[in-house]
Amino acid sequence: MPQAPLEPGTLYLVATPIGNLEDITLRALRTLRECSIIAAEDTRRTKQLLKSHEIDQSVISYHKFNETKRSEELLNRLKNGQTIALVSDAGTPGISDPGGRIVQFAINAGYRIESVPGPCALTTALPASGLPTEKFHFMGFLPHKSMGRKKILDSLDKVSGTLCFYESPYRIIKLLNELQELWPNSNVVLARELTKKFEEFLRGSPIELIEFYSKRKPKGEFVVLVHRP
């Protein structure tokens, strides 16, 4: 059955693979192929994705350092009836990635927003973690500074369900030590390199995972899932 053409003046939020390039929907590929232009967090990475799927498309940058300036240009394009596909480095735009600002601007200006769903590190990690999924609380990346991190973690002490964080390999040990201090009896799952060759799920208490990484260097981006008995 033929699909309807993209609607003029629409901002499409297109989820892209978080690792495995096969993890992209037919709808996402069609949107990237048929849109007027792609706004990408990292044009080099997006061009690699396009090349792998034989898509020849115009790409411009849209990231946290040029959001304000570029948003004005994108709104003008929508005003002229163009269709824009917004993509982040990986996963779903706006989920701990640039996108929220242009979405708000576009809504306020009366333009149409359409999500093209697909990969997201959070929804990839949580179902495979073995932790309860009925209720979860997503916090994204914690601040870099200790005071800000402590304030947020303390505020979660009474929050029920599985807590979900993103963390870099440079601060994962710091987070594990913070979890050990706050919730030493919690069950923690570290999901790293999701959908990639070296995908790994590590399960244990904070201290067990600290001991594990005392013998090896953390690598890859982490989704950290925490459940307190």
* Topology classification of domain 10-116: Cobalt-precorrin-4 Transmethylase; domain 1 (3.40.1010)
Q: How much is the pTM?
A: 0.92
Tokens of 15: 């989820």
pLDDT tens track for 35-52? 999 999 999 999 999 999
What confidence score (pLDDT) does residue 2 get? 67
Superfamily, domain 121-227: Tetrapyrrole methylase, C-terminal domain (3.30.950.10)
Nearest to 200 by CA among 176, 175, 169: 169
Give dist(CA 221, CA 106) in Å, integer: 31
pLDDT tens track for 78-132? 999 999 999 999 999 999 888 889 999 999 999 999 999 999 999 999 999 999 9
Tokens of 112: 């149409």
Check if the beta carbon of residue 123 is closer than 8 Å to that of residue 46: no
Give the 3-state secondary structure of 179-200: HHHHCCCCEEEEEECCCCCCCE
Token pair 């599985």 is at which residue? 162
Domain boundaries, the chain: 10-116, 121-227
